[in-house]
Structure formats: structure tokens, C-alpha cells
Amino acid sequence: MAKQKTQFVCQNCGYISLKWMGRCPECNEWNTMVEEIIMPEDKIQEQISLLKPPAIAVDLEKVDLKEEERIKTGINEFDRVLGGGIVPGSVVLIAGDPGVGKSTLMTQIVPGLKGKKVLYVTGEESVKQLKLRTERLNFPKSFQSKNFLVLAETNLNLVINVIEEVNPDIIIIDSIQTMYRPELESAPGSVSQVRECASVLMQLAKNTGKSILLVGHVTKDGLIAGPKVLEHMVDTVLQFEGERHQAYRILRAVKNRFGSTNEIGIFEMTTEGLKEVKNPSEIFLSERTFGVSGSSVVACIEGTRPLLVEVQALVTPASYGTPQRTSIGFDYHRLSVLLAVLEKKVGVRLSGNDVFIKIVGGLRIDEPAIDLGVVTAIVSSLKDIPVDSQSVVVGEVGLAGEVRSVTQIEKRIQESAKLGFKKIIIPKNNTRGLKIDAEIEIVGVRKVNQALEELLNI
């Protein structure tokens, strides 16, 4: 009998080594190298040949470019992020932290898939647990449960046999980390198993035209658990974000072969499941307090949707030698840059103060257009002067203290006017050729000093 060969595979990034190492040289993570048995090449090809049909070359001129009709889920936020609905024959990966609501979202889309047979494969829950969730989500009485089949199984070979037997239109795998193929000696959730199972499901989708939705977990760093190649194999990658203790969730497209990656969907987690947020700006500003220093309203763009969010800052004297710099929902390094600009170019001394920044509502915003709003909130808290409550701030702050132009300024202005704000501070360059019919005062500024003078009268 031939001796089994082994290799060590990093469970974080997929790096392969012939010997064990305490630290992965690719991703620099400790204790992630796990020993796995190398399958003989002839055995791998034998298993692949059972799933793949014979390859056939096709004349390019005979390829039909007729656009296939997308499958609507009935949840507008989900459909918009996908680009209009689920594409037949596509593989979609929905990733997120544990408890964020991935399984809830997958269950909620089932009633909207009218006329489609759905197979829900759960590897983490029993059939009774899934039944309890459907009861909690109050499925409509008109829902035809005969088109909703549930399978509690983790062996992918058995799952494929059931798929061939029931012939569903849409398959939900919850989650891909629990699936395994017995031909591989490694444990479920390992890099080899996740990669192999995803490859088999990808081939199944392309050969049969069935749509497959994969639920995936993320690591402590926010990356999708398993090898990076998993993201390259699937057609669409959706990131489900949100704090577990916050009510709001954001569905963001990281990759989409059939649509734009600029769209986001916003949901609110309730006792009856996820509910779509039609007007997110109004929701995020609903608890805003007036006449309090350290608060400003900024107009940002998430995808193609304008959002008005509140930025809060707290500046206090440092209790220790080294002042603290803390940011929630805002990039820490960008905060350090803005504080340096305030010190050097604006003349605001912050070296002896602790600075805390928070984006209200559990959002995380990386857009540089909120720089001016962050700076305004910091100075407002330091001087203990409230920002004009009827004003919105937009602008990127440069290293020379200048306010740089931003994109899609018309959408930001229209959203501000729609919510009843009276004034908006924008970069001076954005006022050139600006044609907009909105009942709001538009003030263009070139320097941070000008914005602070307009908003704080200092």
C-alpha cells in the first residue's frame, strides 16, 4: 500500500507548505497551519469526471446573447444589490459575522420566489430549528410550502443526489463551511474542503442553470473564512455588515459579475426578521439632539444612494501622557491625518486632548467626503460650540488645509433639501456649473477655516 503524503495548509489564506510552521509566511498568522492528506491525482480526476460533462467547443457566433430574466426575491433591497435579481445559473456568496442575520435573510427571500422550487440545505441547524424560524418570520398564508424543501445534511455527495432527485430551481447552502466531501481526508471547514465543495457547486450551477446561494462566515479580521480563491470562483460576493447590538444591517456588493458593486441595501433587524429601510437618512438622524456641541451632519454616498448621517466627536483633556485616539465607524489612520491638519494648518491644538469619533447608527463610512464633517465635529467639541443644526457638511480635507471637491454633489444637495435642511457647505470647486433646483442655501468654501467660520462663527 502506497504511503499517504501530507501537506500543511494555512486555514486563513490557503498557503501550502510541505512542513509545519508556527507562522504562515503569506498572511503572518500564527498557528493556522493544519496537516492535510494529499489525494492522488488519479482519484481527484475520477471524482471530477463524475460531475463534469464532456467539454464541447462552441462557435462564438452561435452564442445567444439574449439576456435571461432575473429571478425576483420580493425584497427590493436584496434585488437591487444583486443588480436586479438572481441570475439563473449563478453562484452568490453571502458572508458576514455570526449572528448578523445571514440565515434570516436567506429564509426571508423564499416566499418571494414565486413559482420556483427552493432547496434549503442546512448544515448548522436541524429541520425543526428552521421550521421555528419560519414561524417567527410570519410567512404569508399564500406561501406554497410544497415548493420549499429542507435538507439537514453536510455530506456534499448526498446533497447532490437529493438535488438530482428533487430538481430545485434555487439551492441555498447554509453554510459552505459545514459542507464536506468524504473523498478528502481533511475536516469540514478546512481550506481543501471549502475550495473543493465550492468548485463542485460552481460546476453544478453552470451545467444545470440552477442558482446557488452560499452562506459563508468571516474571520476575526472581517475576511471570508477559507481561501481567497473562494471569492474568485463565485459570481457574486455580498458582505452583510452590522453590529450585533445595533438594529441596522448593510448588505454590500463586494463583487458582482452581473451588476454594479456600488449598490448597498439597508435593513433593520426586528423581532419579526429583517425589514427594508426605505429612507435611511431619516432613520439615522431620528435620534439627533439639537444644541449640543460635537455633532455634525454629513452627506455621504453609499453606492448610488445618498445618505445623511450624524458624526459625533468628544474632545477631553488627556488623563495620561499619551492622548487617546479612538474612532468607531471611521478609519483610524484618516483621523490621525485630520488631527495633524488641524494642528499644523488651522492652528487648533489637540496634542493634549483625547479625541473620540463615532458614526452614529453602527455604520462604517470610508468615503473622504465626510472629512470636513469630522473636522467640524472635533472643533465644535473642543470649543464647546454647537454646530448649526440646519446645516449639512460635505468635503474632503487635503493636507494643506484645503477643501477638495467630491463626486455626485447634486445627489447630496437634493437629499439634504428633501430632509428639510436650510444650508449645505460644499467645496468651492463643486459650485462651478452647478444647476440644481432645491430650496437650500449652498455655500462653497476653499479652506477648512472658512467652513469653521460659517458653521461655528469662530
Binding residues for ATP: 96-103
φ, ψ of residue 325 to 5 degrees: the values are -130, 110
Pairing of strands 236-241, 248-256: antiparallel
Among residues 258, 278, 298, the one where a domain terminates is 278
Please give the pLDDT value at position 27: 85
CA gap 443, 427 in Å, rounded: 8
CATH of the domain at 226: 3.40.50.300
423-427 sheet: strands from edge to edge: 325-328, 353-359, 305-317, 295-302, 391-393, 423-427, 441-445
Grid cell for residue 91: 453562484
Instruction: Report the CATH number that the domain containing residue 308 is assigned in CATH.
Output: 3.30.230.10
Indicate whether 262 and 289 sit together in one domain: no
The whole-number pLDDT of residue 375 equals: 96
Rounded-to-integer distance, Cα 52 and Cα 204, Å: 8
SS3 453: helix
> For cell 497551519, what's the residue?
33
Last residue of a domain, one of 44, 61, 77: 44
Same domain, 95 and 224: yes
Does 143 fall in a domain?
A: yes
Residues 138, 88, single domain; the answer is yes
Tens digit of pLDDT for each residue in 30-57?
A: 888 887 777 665 555 555 454 555 567 7
What b/e string do you get for 48-59 counting C-beta neighbours within 10 Å, with b at 16 or more?
A: eeeeeeeeeeee
The reported pTM is 0.75
Q: Along the 458 residues of the chain, how does pLDDT read in single tens digits? A: 456 677 888 877 778 888 889 999 988 888 888 877 776 655 555 554 545 555 677 777 777 766 668 899 989 999 989 988 999 999 999 988 888 889 999 999 999 888 899 999 999 899 999 988 988 888 876 666 788 999 999 999 999 999 999 999 999 999 898 999 888 777 787 777 888 899 899 999 998 999 999 998 876 555 555 556 688 889 999 988 876 667 888 898 889 998 888 788 889 888 888 999 888 888 788 788 888 999 999 999 987 788 999 999 999 998 888 899 999 999 999 999 999 999 999 999 998 999 999 998 778 888 999 999 999 999 999 999 999 889 999 999 999 999 999 999 999 999 999 899 999 999 999 998 888 877 899 999 999 999 999 998 76
Task: Note whether residue 62 is domain-resident.
Answer: no
Shortest CA distance to 171 belongs to which of 156, 192, 182, 190? 156
Which of 278, 296, 321 is the last residue before a domain boundary? Answer: 278
Beta-strand ranges (E) seen in 62-116 are 91-96
Binding residue numbers: 96-103
Cell, residue 30: 500564527
DSSP 13-46: T--EESS--SB-TTT--BS-EEEEEPPPHHHHHH
Same domain, 309 and 263: no
pLDDT of residue 170: 95
What total of structural domains would you count in the chain? Answer: 3
Judge whether 60 lies within some domain.
no
Task: Determine the longest span between alpha carbons in the chain, in angstroms.
Answer: 85
pLDDT of residue 50: 47
User: Is residue 99 domain-resident?
Assistant: yes
**Amino acid of residue 351:** S
Could you tell me if residue 220 is inside a domain? yes
Residues 259 and 166 in one domain: yes
What range does the domain containing 342 cover? Answer: 283-456
Any domain includes 59: no
State whether 302 and 447 are in the same domain: yes
Q: 251 with 239: CB under 8 angstroms? A: yes
Please check whether residues 425 and 443 belong to one and the same domain. yes
Reading the block at residue 271, the C-alpha cell is 423581532
CA gap 34, 40 in Å, rounded = 19
235-284 pLDDT, tens digit per residue, is 999 988 876 667 888 898 889 998 888 788 889 888 888 999 888 888 78
Place of cell 445571514: 102
Residues 444 and 317 in one domain: yes
Q: Specify whether 116 is located in the same domain as 243.
A: yes
Amino acid symbol at 223: L
Q: Is residue 395 part of a domain?
A: yes
| Same domain for 146 and 108 | yes
**Residue 366 falls inside a structural domain:** yes
Residue 442 and residue 313 share a domain: yes
132-163 pLDDT, tens per residue?
898 888 887 666 678 899 999 999 999 999 99
Residues 359 and 388 in one domain: yes
